[in-house]
Every structure is written in C-alpha cells, then in structure tokens.
Amino acid sequence: MKFDKDGNVTTFEKKKMELYHELSLQARDLRFQHLTSITARNNNIIIRMEALKAVVTPNSLLVLDFRGLGLERWLVLELAPQLNGDHGALATHSLPFEFRALEAILQHRVNTLQARLNEVHPVILDILESLVDPKLLSADRSKLHILLQNSKNLSELETDIKVFKDSLLKILDEEEMIEELCVTKWTDPRVFEESSLGIDHAEEMELLLENYFMQAEELGNTTRELKGLIDDSESVIFINLDSHRNVMMRLNLQLTMGTFSLSLFGLMGVAFGMNLESTFEEDPKVFWLVTGFMFLGSGLIWRRLLSFLGRHLEPTVPPQIPTVWKRNQINSKGGEVKSGLR
Amino acid sequence: MKFDKDGNVTTFEKKKMELYHELSLQARDLRFQHLTSITARNNNIIIRMEALKAVVTPNSLLVLDFRGLGLERWLVLELAPQLNGDHGALATHSLPFEFRALEAILQHRVNTLQARLNEVHPVILDILESLVDPKLLSADRSKLHILLQNSKNLSELETDIKVFKDSLLKILDEEEMIEELCVTKWTDPRVFEESSLGIDHAEEMELLLENYFMQAEELGNTTRELKGLIDDSESVIFINLDSHRNVMMRLNLQLTMGTFSLSLFGLMGVAFGMNLESTFEEDPKVFWLVTGFMFLGSGLIWRRLLSFLGRHLEPTVPPQIPTVWKRNQINSKGGEVKSGLR
Amino acid sequence: MKFDKDGNVTTFEKKKMELYHELSLQARDLRFQHLTSITARNNNIIIRMEALKAVVTPNSLLVLDFRGLGLERWLVLELAPQLNGDHGALATHSLPFEFRALEAILQHRVNTLQARLNEVHPVILDILESLVDPKLLSADRSKLHILLQNSKNLSELETDIKVFKDSLLKILDEEEMIEELCVTKWTDPRVFEESSLGIDHAEEMELLLENYFMQAEELGNTTRELKGLIDDSESVIFINLDSHRNVMMRLNLQLTMGTFSLSLFGLMGVAFGMNLESTFEEDPKVFWLVTGFMFLGSGLIWRRLLSFLGRHLEPTVPPQIPTVWKRNQINSKGGEVKSGLR
Amino acid sequence: MKFDKDGNVTTFEKKKMELYHELSLQARDLRFQHLTSITARNNNIIIRMEALKAVVTPNSLLVLDFRGLGLERWLVLELAPQLNGDHGALATHSLPFEFRALEAILQHRVNTLQARLNEVHPVILDILESLVDPKLLSADRSKLHILLQNSKNLSELETDIKVFKDSLLKILDEEEMIEELCVTKWTDPRVFEESSLGIDHAEEMELLLENYFMQAEELGNTTRELKGLIDDSESVIFINLDSHRNVMMRLNLQLTMGTFSLSLFGLMGVAFGMNLESTFEEDPKVFWLVTGFMFLGSGLIWRRLLSFLGRHLEPTVPPQIPTVWKRNQINSKGGEVKSGLR
Amino acid sequence: MKFDKDGNVTTFEKKKMELYHELSLQARDLRFQHLTSITARNNNIIIRMEALKAVVTPNSLLVLDFRGLGLERWLVLELAPQLNGDHGALATHSLPFEFRALEAILQHRVNTLQARLNEVHPVILDILESLVDPKLLSADRSKLHILLQNSKNLSELETDIKVFKDSLLKILDEEEMIEELCVTKWTDPRVFEESSLGIDHAEEMELLLENYFMQAEELGNTTRELKGLIDDSESVIFINLDSHRNVMMRLNLQLTMGTFSLSLFGLMGVAFGMNLESTFEEDPKVFWLVTGFMFLGSGLIWRRLLSFLGRHLEPTVPPQIPTVWKRNQINSKGGEVKSGLR
C-alpha cells in the first residue's frame, strides 16, 4: 500500500483491518464490489476504476493494491505532481485536496478510455478503407478477422464507457451525494462557514463530475459513430461483392450462350463427320456451304441470345417517378425548415 | 480578441488573465471544455459552439479566438447588424441585449447544421436514386464509395445535432438555469421590478431556447429519415441484384440444359464418326435417320428439361392465404381506427 | 384572412400589425415557427398544424393565410357546422367555444394523418403480397421502386405522427399549460366560479388532448407494424430468391455433371475418330463395344457423381436436438405463464 | 344490454340516454374511444378492452353491446360465478365488488392475449425448426409464407400487449387514479372509516393492477424472445443456403475444370480427326500415343487446376489470433464478474 | 416445508392455511404470482426467484415447496452456514437476520444466472471462432444449429436478468419499500431507537440491493456484448462466404472462357472432320496450319477474354477520396477530444 500526501509519497504495507480502523470504515465499505464506483463514506471517498482502487481522505490519497497493474509509471510520474498542485496541470488546482485527487483519477480513467479508443480507431478505419475498396473482387479474410476482433474490443470499450457514465450520472442525479463528496467542507469548519458565504464546493464538484461525464459522452458518441460506420461499410462490401458477382455472371452467361451456339451448329459438323453415307460427299461446294452455315449460324444465334438477354434484364415499366420524388423532397423539407427559421 | 457592443465593433488583443479579472470570472470558467455548452457564471453567459467561443455580458458580446475559423464573414456582415437590433432580423429585437446575442449565436449554429444537412441531403438522394435504378445489373462502386462517405458525414451531423439538443435540453430542464441566463434581469434593478409586474424574462428565454430546440429536433428528424431511406434503399439494391442474378441464372440453366442435350446426342454422332465398322456405312437412309434423331432427340430432351425446371421452381401448395390476410388487415385495423374517431 | 364566429363566417384581409393589436399579441407570438405547435398566449390559443395556422380566441376562431392550401373545402363544409355546435358532431359540443375549435382542428389533423396512412397502407400490403409470392423467381423491380417510395412516405408520416404526439405530450405533461388553454375560464367570471364548484374545464381539456394523443398513438402503432412487416417481407423475399437460386444451382450442377461424363467418354469416341490406325478398324464388334462403353460409362459416372452430390450436401451429424428444444420451450414457458395466472 | 349483480344475471335493452342518466354520466364518457382504456368517472369504472365494453358501478357490472362478439360463452359460464365470489376463483374474492369485476375482466383480457400467443408460438417454433434444418438445400417457400403471416400476427399481438401495459401503467403512475378506482370506498361510509384504520383499498388495487401488468410484461418478454428467435433463425437460414451454394459451386468449378481439360485435349483428337493428311496415319503406335496423351494430359491438367483451386481458397496469413482472443475473453470477463461477487 | 433459524434447520409439513395464520398473512400474499418478486407484507419479506419461494420473518427463513427443484444441495450445504453468520461468507454477517437471508438468496440467484452465462459463453465463443475461420468454404451446419440454440438460451438469460434487475430497481426507486424491507427495525424497539441515532438499516439495505443490481447489470452487459459479437460474426461469415463464392466464380468464368475458345476453334476441326470434300485433303501442310491455328487461336481468344475480364471488374473512377477521409477523421475527432481534456 501507498500513501500520497500534499506532495510527499510514502509506501507502506498495512493490514486491511488496521486500515479500516484508521479510516473508521467498515470492511463492507472497502470491498470494492463493482468495477467502477465512486462512493462517499465517513468523509472518505472510495473510488474504484477497474484495476485502480483508491481512498480519498480530506488530506491524503491512498492507492490500494497498486502493484502489478502497470500503474506505477502513472502514479509516480503524473499523479504526485498533479496532487502537489504547483504544476497547474489540473483545472481544480486552487480547490481543496479531494477535488485534485478526484480530478486526477477521473482524468486518468478518461485518458485510459481515450487511449483504448485511439488504439482501435485507426485500425478499424484502415481495415474498412481497404475492405470497401471497389477494385477488390473478394474481401481479404484475414483482415475481416482483425476487424471482428477490433469490433469486439470496441463493444467492450463501449460498455466500459457506459458503465463509467452511469456511475457519474448516478452521483449527478442526487444532490445529496455530491454534497457528501465534498469531504473538506464537512471536516474543516472554516470552509464550512465560507461555503455559506457563497463559495460553494458542491457546485464546483458538480461542474467537475459533469465535465468528465461530458468527455465520456463524447467518447461514447465516437464509438457509436464508429459502430455505425462498420455497419454501413459492411453493407457496401456486400453490395460490392454482389455487383462483382453479377458482372461476372453476365459474362459467364454470354459465354455460355456462345458455347451453346457453337455446340448446336457443331452438331451439324459431327453429323457430317459420321462414317455414314450422306450422298453429298463428292460435292466440294457443300463443304464450304455447311462450314459457312455452321459458323454464321453460331454467330447469329449467339447475337440473338445476347440481345434477348439485354431485353430480359430491363424492367417492364420505365421508372419516371424517382425524379419527381427527389425534387419534391428537397423543396418540401429543405424549404420548410428554412422558412421555419424566421 | 474582439469586442461587439450595441452596434459598435471593436477588435483588440488581451491577455486571458486580464479578461478574467474584468469579467470577474475564474480561469476554470473559460476553459470551454466541451464542444457545445451554454453556461451562466457571474452574470455572464459563456457559450461554446464547436469553433465559436463567446462571452455574453449584460451589454456586450465578446467573441474569443475568432481568427482562422472562417467566421469573419459572419461576424462582420451578419452578427453586427443583428445585435444592433434596427435590422429587425431577430425575433427578440425588442428584448434586452443578451437575448439578441444568444439568438444570433443559436441561429448561426442551427444555420450551420442546416447548411451541412443541405450539402449532404441532395447528394445522398442523387446517389440513392441512381443506385436503386432497376435497370442496373450491378451497383456503380465509385458511387457506393461516395454514399459511404456521405453516410459517415450524416452520422457525424446526427451526433452534433444530438449534442446541440442535449445542451439546450439540459438548460430547459432546470428552471434555475433559465433564470440565470437572463443576465439583464439581475443587473438592472429597473428590469427586475418590471419582471415582478408580469413581463417575464425567464419565460421569453424559455421560448427562445425551445424554439431552437425544436428546429434542431426537425433537423434530427430529417437526418433520421435520411438514414432510414439509405437502409431501405440498400435492401432494395440487394433485392435488385439478387433478382438480376436469378434471372441470369435461369437463362444460364436453360442454356446448360441445351448444351447437355446437344452433348448427349452429339455423342451418338461421335460414335458413328469413329473409324470403326458399324455395318451401316453403306445405307444412305441411316445418315438421315441418325442425324434427324440427334437433332430431334436434343430438342425433345431440352424441352423436357425446361418443363421440368418450370415445375421444379413452383411451390407445392397454392398460397391462397395472402388475399384473406390483406382484406382482413384493412378491415380490422383501418376500420377500428376510423370508428375510434367518434 | 378569415373570421369564424359561433357559426357565422366572415372573410376579410387585415395587416398583420393590426391583428397583433386587436389580439394584444406580440409579433413574436404569431411567427408560427414550428410545423406543429399549440401554445396559449394572452387568452388566445395559437395553433399551427403544418399548413393550417389558426388563432382561437374565447369566442372566435381565426384561420390565417388559408388560401391555396386545399383547405377551403374543409373550412366551409365541415368546420363551420362543427363550430356551430348544433351538428352534434363533436364530443365537446356542450363545452365552451375553444374546446369545439380545438377539437375540430385536432380531429382535422388526425384525419389528415389517417388519410395519409390509408393511402400508403393498402399499396404497401399489395406490393408486399405480390413480392413475397413464392412462385416468383425474381422480384419485380418496378414494384420494388414503388415500395421504396411508399416506405419513404411511411417514414415521413411516422415523423409527423411523432411530432404531433410530442406537441400534445408537452402540453399534457404540464398541468399549467392545460389550465392556460381553457381560455373561457379566465375571461368569463361566471365560468370561473362554476369551475371552483366542480365542473372542471382543465380536466375536460386534458381528456380532449389525451383522446387525440391516443389516436395518434394508434396511428403510430400501425405505421410501426407496417415497417416491421416490410422488414420481415424483405427477409422472406431474400430467402425466397436464395432458395430459388440454390434449386437452380443444384440442377445446373447435375447437368454439368452429365456434360462432364459425356465429355469424358466422348473423348474416347474422338480418339477412335482420329485418322490414325488403331488396328481395331475392321472388327464390327468393337464398334458396338466402344459405343456401348461410352454411353454406359457416361451414365454410370453421372450416377456416381449425383449420389456423391447427394451425400455431400447432407450434414455430418444428425440433428436430434431441435425436437427436444421445442417441447422444452413450450412446457417451460407456456406452462410457467399459465400457472402464474392463479 | 345486460345486467350482472352479485350473482344474478339480467339481460335487458336500454336507450343510451337513459343509461347515462341512471349512472349520472355524460355521453362523452361512454364513447369508448380507445381500444384499451380504464377510466373512473363519478364512482363508475368505465372499461374497454377491444370488443368488450363494460361499466363497473359499486354493486353491479354492466356489459354493453355484448352480442355477436363471441363473448357470450365467457360471460355466462365464467364471469357470473367469478363475480359471485363463492367460487373462490379470484384472488380478490374477499374484497368489494369492483375488485372482483376488475380482476375478472383483466384476467379475461390477459387470458385472451395468452391464448393468442399460445396459438402463434408453437406454429412459429415448428416452422423455424423445419426451416433451419441443415439438410435442406432450399427453404420451403409455402412455410416461409406461413411464417410471415405468423410473424405479422406476433407484431400485432406485441402492439396489443404494449397498449394493455401502457393503459395499466398510466393508472399505476398516478396515485390519484388508483384511489378513484376504489369506488366502494367513496360510496360506502363504513368502508371509508375502515380504510383510515389501515385496511387500504388503494393498496390492494395497486397490487391487483401491478399483478396483471407483470403478467402482460411476461407475455411481452415471450413475444420479444420469439421475434429475436425468428431473426436469429433467418440469419442461420441465410448462412445455410449460402453454405450449400458454396459447396455446390466448388463441385461445379471442379467439374468445369474437368470439362475444360477434356476439351483442351479433345481438341487434339479433333485435329487428328480432320480429313487432312498428317503423315502419321499409317503408324499404329501414334494412335496409342495420342490417345494416351489426351487422357493423361486431361487428367494431369485437371489435377493441377484442382490443387490450384485448393491453394487459391486458403487465406494468405495463418490466423493464430482467435485462440488467444477466446481464452483472454473468458479469463478477463468471467473472472472479473466472479471475483466481483465477494 | 422447511424451517431455518439462526443456524438450526427444521423440516416440517404444514397446511397453507396454518402458515397464513402463523405469519398473519393473507392467502393473496403467498400466491407468488410472478417469476421474480420481492415484497414486504406485515414484517415478512416474501421472495420468489423462479423455482425458489421463501418467506423471511425477523428471525427465521421459510423456504416453501423446496422438494424436487434441485435446490436441496444448496439449501443444506451453503444456505445454513451463511445464515449462521460465523462463516463470515456474507458481507452482511454483522447485520440483522433479514439482511443475511436476503443476501444469501440474492447471491444464490446471481450465482445461478452467472452459471447459466458461464455455460453458454464459452460454447458460443468456440462455435463463433470455428465459424469465422476464413479457411472454411462453407459453414458447418450442425454448428450453426448449436449456435442457434445457444443464442436462444442467451435471449432467455437476458430476459431473466432484465426481470431480476427490474424487480430490484422497482424497490430501489421507492424509499418506502426499502424501509419496509428492514423488518427487524420495525419489530425490535431497541434497533428502532438506534436507527434514529445514525446506524441506518435502510441505507444498508439500499447498498445491499444496489450491489446485486450492479452485478446483474454486469451480467446484462456481458450478454449484450455476446449478442453483438454473434451479430458481427454473422456479418463476417456472410462476407467470407460471399468472398469465397466470388473467387470461385472468377475461376469458373476464366475456365468458361477457355472452354468457349476451345469450342470456337474446335468447330473448325469438326468442319474439316466432315466427310465432305474440301480440296485441301492432300496437302500435309494444311494439317499443321489448321491444327496450329486452332490451338493458337484458342489461346489468343482466351487471353483477350481474360484481359477483358480484368478490365471489366475495375471501377471507372480511381477512388482517391478514402485516404483524405481517414486522415481527416483522425485529426478532427481525436484532436478535438484530446484538446477538450484541458
């Protein structure tokens, strides 16, 4: 366990029980049951943000079980100077200690979420960009796999952002809980008097929490947009693949038509190739006649089939309606909203 | 930095610190942390709308950091006369200065959102119109790409509209915050007295904010409809492509049947073409017999296969149910609602 | 402009400014900014329903800018007798004038929405019915186009219903606004006294608005169901098209197998047809042997390929699980809910 | 019209006007405008559940317009004994008459909804079970049609459940309305006194309504699950059909490869079959050479093409990532939640 | 029936009626109508969690109808020591009996839900992992079947979690109900006095319920993520299958092109194979000429067709836009949010 006070950092080990006594808390209170929670108990703020567990007292910040979580760097290099206050890095540097501690932790949490988003965001955009490339005949399946994993990470990130927002919202919805979070106000009588003179800690606390709520909201908006983009891209990929297939199928059909024509008239050649007497054997003109008929016939039949295909794929009724529809839309909607402005 | 007062426009540079002192604000208040926010502090209204940062005092409007944002045109040509009031361009031209300033900024914001929608709207309609064209065998993939980008822009626009609406809604939900926004009421004792006589600033403020909330709502509705239209169009494109494919596949199948018949009976011709003695060589009638059999047989087999295909594609049970279903639906529903009117 | 009073209809032109004075309203109030709104100002009810703009005073109804909107018929033939009250057509015919006016306008609005739904509803059902017809190999693309347009109209109708419902809900949520709408109560001291004796105008107003809210809700439910039906039908169309394709593909594959067999053994015939000496030329039995081998071989190979295909398309593990699953479901769920009744 | 009182059943015809007088209601109140509504007016409860219209007075239940709705059976056989109370069939049999009447009607409504669900539920499960059968190459289109209709019925049922729930919720949300529904309390002074002594009718009424709200909620949950199941099944059907198609296409491709090989080498045979001198005519070894080359060549080319196909369909990068992903998931999530329990 | 008190376990059979009397409850109260409910009646807490029915009195826990539900193990081995309190297994071991009983039951419920999730979770992940494997040409249909069943189980689990959450939320939303659940407070006067001195049972109860609500919420989040993962995977499977098909179709098309070329030039060979005189019969060079022309011509035509195909599948306009779009996105969004932090 570790101790951080107005700038001095102390690390020590303590039994849980001693700690409870010192803070006059009950074992129940320090169970840190949910992944994300901020609660006030006996003028202490108990915070848990995934791996980070902390207790804020009016003049110190205790970070519990901090080892092996990859948090050491942040604790030593960033948290200490921020709490110190002289850095000016925090918006609340002129406010009591609990504000500084809370802001530092919330900011760390938002930064973590942001970092996770920043990691996933460009990867997804890159993959989508290469997948929707209209030149591709088939989707690269290893990229699809990476997309699926990132999309899964995105869902988890979305859940974490939602949980973070909900835990802040729960506090923001109850005036009373905001009051309880201003621990200095209740312990320091001087501050308490001041607060009745207008310098309101609760209002500052609300602004602080609201600020981080809004930041989480923006992160949430970005993830939602990203999910929408993945969905839209998937539709486009499907249309792309389907279009490619249709084009290939038409080519295939045209060639099948050609093969059919050739088979049909080839049959004639095969007939004359039989070792049967057809009485035409001796006439050299017949050779040219039949050969010419075979090739020309094939060609003609093919051409007829192709033009038949062309006609077959066109719809029966000319669709004159869409043009009207579009104009209509722009006029009625755009116009209405415009005129509604004045 | 720039200064706008009852019509006179002044531009000057100031240190942030001096500004804070002048407005008796704290550095925290001017941080402009969220992309869209409207807050009241010490009889000043602090507004941020994406790039635009402004402070409204009871008798002046300060626009901060306005350079390089493409806002100059609007500031000089539109904002000044609007604030002046003699233009009559604002619905609130008879109300105190803060109303005029707020309306001008909100209107600018809604106009910006509307302009973005107007940009995306016709492009999407155009592309969709050309994509759902039933004559097309395959979707134009470069158009799909443009559609994807516009749909992405639409999502971002939707988020911005939502954020704008939320920030207005947050104020509308709290009576107290509306009161705080009426800065003139609190600074001018004459107005304060009047207000107790019935001319209520807070109510006017509520109407003003509600008005722009409704306009944003209408924009939001339009974007939502547009998204729905994109979804519906994609379904139609898929059905279109699938239909084309099925038609082509049937043609292909019919030709494959023909080729198969020709191969089958061509085999007979090949058999007789072998350099093997079949004892029929000398009979000229056999030639015609076999040739005729080949062509006729091919034709007959093909015809049988085609009719087999025809039967194969029909369902087993005649679906007589839909007609009942439809009538039923119209009677029960339409009738009920109609009769429910009286 | 036009004037309607207790049954007499007067039409006249007036400047906007004069009108404002007469009604002691401000220009702001008559701006009719939103497409759908009902507001009370100075004992007047200002109503806008899309094109229809009206002001209800305690004893008259003013319809503004009514020309060229296709409303004349309704105004003359229906509105006048309804307001008159002797028709008995309105549920509120025994209540003060403003109730009758409001009910007539709301009813007109709901009727308009209902008429739009009635227009779209049977068309969509007709098209869906013909599109899901399982006999069809491909969807009729001109019908798809009409479906798309109707589905677009449906979305717009849904939005309008939502906007209508929201504007009613906004009033229903605030007791105070309902009170303000009862204009007679505030102008007629006799009614005011009565109302304290139990005949409550506000309650009647709430019932009136709620009634039309419920009717709009029912319209909304119908549009939602219709949208769901379109979605479901699209899935069915896709499955239909896919099924057709699979059936055709299997036929195609079977024929390709036949063609392959024929080619394989035809090669033998071609081999013997070469002008090369094979030493078998003179034996007539060889002709029958090879020919028979060609045809029989083709047939056998084809049959083997077909049975291979048959086996290939079957799954490896026999799925015995579904039967359990179904029974299970009915027992557990159906039974639970049933037993929960007592 | 019909009259039901403490067990006695009377049927009589009455003019609407007389009825209004008798119950001291206004015509407006009996309009039964919405499909589902429960309202209290002048110590009468006016109920409408689709076709069923009823008025509950403190000591009788009037069912209006009951003929021709298929309700007779229920009215005579079930309703009468239930209201009688000696049956003990109702949970509220010891409570005043209006509770018994209300419970009987609500229970009838829930039973009707449940019956509709029970009708649709097994049919949908049956059809889905047969449609997702992996052995099927194509979906049975007549079954799809029945599925579509049942899915439509399910949507309508969902709407009805929602409307029923909403009408109950509207009452549950307003304490005052629950009080009004306890008509006996307001008419019987003895009961009124008791109620101030703790036997609270309003609380019993709340429990009663809540009970049926929960039952409707459960029905709603079941329909929602069923809709989800239809969606999931459709996805599975699509994947099934697509898989079948891919398997068939691969077979087709393999056969096309074979046909191609045969054609290629058959061309050689055709060449030698020409009536042109190739100087090889006399050598019998050449026959065997060329024939052998044709067959072997075909076979080799085919084998090469098949192995090319095999390589072509495999992805470029070996996907080692999924295994990590899965383990990861189980550890992080499952573990976290587990450990969160203590 | 069974009796559990401070550690002693008694099992006995009792008539329902006697039980009602003993607990001074009414038959109505013990009906256990909903699958999940927690209600307080006359200082007893009546709990139903699916199969488990229990009544908590201030100093004992009655579990009703416990036989044949598979609960015996849990009742004997876990519940008894937990209620005993000396185990220290419950967070509420220092609080009155009803807390311990409630926590034990809620924990059992959450554990059951968790166990069901743990059962479904790895199976779904396993199946998805094997289904999205990009090497597969077709989805294993028996796995799809298992996926469908698990997805159905997941939906049911989701509903159960929702119902559990809703029943807790209903209590948490009403202060009064939480008070009623603290049965010891109302029966033991000593505790009642204490509670006015600050040791607040209601607050502890709220924390307890909130804790389990949060745990259910986390379970709900996991199921939602899992459902999202299934959806995403299905899209990926579709794209995979479509890609495979496109690749195969291109190969097929290329081969069809080859076959077509061979047929075309084979026709020439067939022509010369006819038993007709072409005057070239005697010239040996013609044999080589025609044979060479046939093979070379086939090859050339094939090559032309392939290159035509290559050009045909490329889009008309080079899509240079995506690169801009991506950079843009990262800068504008990521940058904005980042800068918003300070």
CB atoms within 10 A of CB D74: 17
Average the pLDDT over C6-15 and give the result: 65
Considering only residues 191 to 210 of chain B, which have any Cβ-Cβ distance to chain C shorter than 8 Å? 207
pLDDT tens, residue by residue, C167-191: 888 888 888 888 878 777 766 666 5
DSSP C91: T
Let me know the angle formed at the C-alpha of B100 by B98 and B102, rounded to the nearest 5 degrees.
65
According to the model, what pLDDT value does residue D79 have? 73
Least Cα separation, residue B339 to chain A (angstroms):
32
Per-residue pLDDT of chain B in tens (342 residues, 90 and over written 9): 555 555 566 666 667 667 777 776 666 666 656 677 787 777 788 888 777 778 887 777 777 776 666 676 777 677 776 766 555 556 666 677 778 888 888 888 888 899 999 999 999 998 888 888 766 677 777 788 888 888 889 999 999 999 899 888 888 888 888 887 877 776 666 655 555 545 577 777 888 888 888 889 989 999 999 999 999 888 888 888 888 888 888 888 888 888 888 887 777 777 777 766 666 666 767 777 777 777 787 778 778 877 777 776 554 444 444 443 444 443 444 333 333 333
Average the pLDDT over A318-334 and give the result: 41
CB contact under 8 A, B142 and E319: yes
Instruction: Provide φ and ψ at D316, rounded to 5°.
Output: -75, -45
Please say if the pLDDT value at position A317 is more than 50. Answer: no
Distance, in Å, from the CA atom of D185 to the CA atom of D293, rounded to the nearest integer, reads 105
According to the model, what pLDDT value does residue E256 have? 84
Choose from E159, E162, E263 for mutation: most chain D CBs within 10 A: E159
Please say if the pLDDT value at position A325 is more than 60. Answer: no
Distance, in Å, from the CA atom of B201 to the CA atom of B190, rounded to the nearest integer, reads 13
The interface predicted TM-score of the complex, written ipTM, equals 0.78
According to the model, what pLDDT value does residue B224 have? 92
- Of D33, D140, D145, Cβ closest to residue B340: D33
Considering only residues 129 to 158 of chain A, which have any Cβ-Cβ distance to chain B shorter than 8 Å? 132, 134
- Sheet of E44-49: strand order equals E8-11, E2-5, E60-64, E52-57, E44-49, E36-41
CB contact under 8 A, C110 and B341: yes
CB contact under 8 A, D267 and E237: no
Least Cα separation, residue C335 to chain B (angstroms):
30
CB contact under 8 A, B322 and D141: no
- Of A273, A319, A325, Cβ closest to residue C142: A319
According to the model, what pLDDT value does residue A84 have? 66
pTM, 2 dp: 0.80
CB contact under 8 A, A149 and D315: no
The answer to whether B324 contacts chain D (CB < 8 Å) is no
Distance of CA B279 to the CA centre of its chain: 80
Least Cα separation, residue C261 to chain E (angstroms):
16
- Of C147, C230, C269, Cβ closest to residue B271: C269
Q: What ranges in chain C are assigned the alpha helix state H?
A: 16-23, 72-74, 80-84, 97-131, 141-173, 175-181, 183-187, 189-196, 201-273, 284-312, 321-329, 335-339
According to the model, what pLDDT value does residue E223 have? 92
Q: What ranges in chain A are assigned the alpha helix state H?
A: 16-23, 72-74, 80-84, 97-131, 141-172, 175-181, 183-187, 189-196, 201-273, 284-312, 321-329, 335-340
Distance, in Å, from the CA atom of E341 to the CA atom of D1, rounded to the nearest integer, reads 72
Tokens for B14? 């100031």
Distance, in Å, from the CA atom of C227 to the CA atom of E283, rounded to the nearest integer, reads 77
Highest mean pLDDT among B119-128, C46-55, C308-317, D290-299: B119-128
A153 vs E contacts (CB less than 8 Å) = none
pLDDT tens, residue by residue, C99-123: 888 888 888 888 889 999 999 999 9
Distance, in Å, from the CA atom of D27 to the CA atom of D6, rounded to the nearest integer, reads 27
CB contact under 8 A, C330 and D163: no
Least Cα separation, residue D60 to chain C (angstroms):
24
Using 70 as the pLDDT threshold, list the residues of chain D that sit under it: 1-17, 24-34, 66-70, 72, 76, 81, 83-94, 134-136, 186-199, 275-284, 312-342
Position C341 confidence tier, pLDDT thresholds 50, 70, 90: very low
- Of A125, A137, A266, Cβ closest to residue E267: A266
- b/e string for B71-91 if b means 16 or more Cβ within 10 A? beebbeebbbbbbbbeeebbb
Tokens for A293? 């008929």
The answer to whether C330 contacts chain E (CB < 8 Å) is no
C33 vs A contacts (CB less than 8 Å) = 340
According to the model, what pLDDT value does residue B114 have? 92
Which residue, chain included where needed, has tokens 């036929």?
C251
- Of E317, E321, E342, Cβ closest to residue B149: E321
Least Cα separation, residue A70 to chain D (angstroms):
16
pLDDT tens, residue by residue, D287-335: 777 777 777 877 787 788 777 777 765 544 444 444 434 434 434 443 3
- Of A92, A246, A275, Cβ closest to residue B273: A275
- Of E215, E278, E334, Cβ closest to residue A287: E278
pLDDT tens, residue by residue, D87-96: 555 666 667 7
The answer to whether B251 contacts chain A (CB < 8 Å) is yes
According to the model, what pLDDT value does residue D223 have? 92
Least Cα separation, residue B273 to chain D (angstroms):
9
B219 vs A contacts (CB less than 8 Å) = 337
Q: Which residue in chain D has the smallest CA separation from B274?
A: D273
The answer to whether B228 contacts chain C (CB < 8 Å) is yes
CB contact under 8 A, D149 and B273: no
Least Cα separation, residue C175 to chain A (angstroms):
24
Choose from B262, B276, B282, B289 for mutation: most chain A CBs within 10 A: B262
**Of residues A12, A108, A26, A16, the one with CA closest to residue A60:** A12
Collapsed DSSP state (helix, strand, coil) of residue D173: helix
- Of E134, E238, E279, Cβ closest to residue A142: E134
The answer to whether E217 contacts chain D (CB < 8 Å) is no
Return all residues near D273 (Cβ < 8 A) that are at least 6 apart. A273, B273, C270, C273, C274, C275, E269, E273
Which residue, chain included where needed, has tokens 């693309």?
C141
Considering only residues 40 to 99 of chain E, which have any Cβ-Cβ distance to chain B shorter than 8 Å? none
Residue C232 CB-half CA count within 13 A = 25
pLDDT tens, residue by residue, A8-37: 666 666 666 677 777 766 656 656 566 777
pLDDT tens, residue by residue, C259-276: 888 887 777 777 777 766
Using 50 as the pLDDT threshold, list the residues of chain E that sit under it: 197, 315-342
According to the model, what pLDDT value does residue A342 have? 33
Q: Which residue in chain A has the smallest CA separation from C32?
A: A340
Length of chain B: 342
A33 vs D contacts (CB less than 8 Å) = 340
The answer to whether B247 contacts chain C (CB < 8 Å) is yes
Please say if the pLDDT value at position C299 is more than 60. Answer: yes
Considering only residues 256 to 315 of chain C, which have any Cβ-Cβ distance to chain E shorter than 8 Å? 273, 315
According to the model, what pLDDT value does residue E118 have? 92
Position A336 confidence tier, pLDDT thresholds 50, 70, 90: very low
According to the model, what pLDDT value does residue D118 have? 92
In this structure, which amino acid lies at residue E126? Answer: D
Distance, in Å, from the CA atom of C97 to the CA atom of C85, rounded to the nearest integer, reads 9
- Of C142, C272, C295, Cβ closest to residue B134: C142
